[in-house]
Amino acid sequence: MFKIMPEEWDAGMTINLKATWQMSTIIAGYMLDQKDPGSNRKPILLMGPKSTAKTHAQGTIQSRRRARDTQHCHGTGKLNIGVNCLAPEWLVTPRVKDIADGPNGEHCCKTITMGRTADPQELTAALPTLTSGASSYMTGSVLRVDCGHSYRGIDFDF
């Protein structure tokens, strides 16, 4: 069974919950201060990285992230600020690269529908969907760019 240490749990919660909440709160405040007359809707895009371990931590982080985003969009929606989330899976970051290049990397990549990690450029088509005026009635949405993870799920046997 995979064991997670308290400091790993805290780090996951800080990165996945606290950091994105703080950043979106700062951005919302900045947007309100600017009072940009050229736009009647101001989007905030949250990135929703997921835990790479199959543990209770992953489910807890995901449910808390959904609760955070829901709470955030209720407060900002009244101010005409949309809060949406782009949720990639296995996006090439230093941490994911270390996992993919590590001893279990080949096995981890086999759990991905396309058998590889995502390049950040592969998310660029999704960004306008969440940030353009065409999505002015969209808030509190999560757009998954996850190579079928939400359909297939993930299963580690180590």
pLDDT digits (tens, 9 = 90+) for 48-89: 544 444 444 455 555 555 666 666 666 666 777 777 777 777
What is the crossing angle of helices 20-34 and 56-77, to 10°?
A: 10
Residue numbers of the chain with a pLDDT score lower than 50: 1, 37-38, 40, 49-57, 158
Contact call for residues 129 and 84 (beta carbons, < 8 A): no
Contact call for residues 132 and 73 (beta carbons, < 8 A): no
How many distinct helices (H) and strands (E) make up the chain? 7, 3
Which amino acid makes up residue 147? C
What pLDDT, on a 0 to 100 scale, did the predictor assign at position 132? 74
Average pLDDT of the residues of the chain: 68
Contact call for residues 117 and 94 (beta carbons, < 8 A): no
pTM check: above 0.75:
no
**CA pseudo-torsion sign 9, 14, 15, 17:** positive
What would you measure as the largest C-alpha separation in the chain, in angstroms? 55
Domains of the chain, with CATH numbers? 6-32+42-88+122-152 (3.40.50.720)
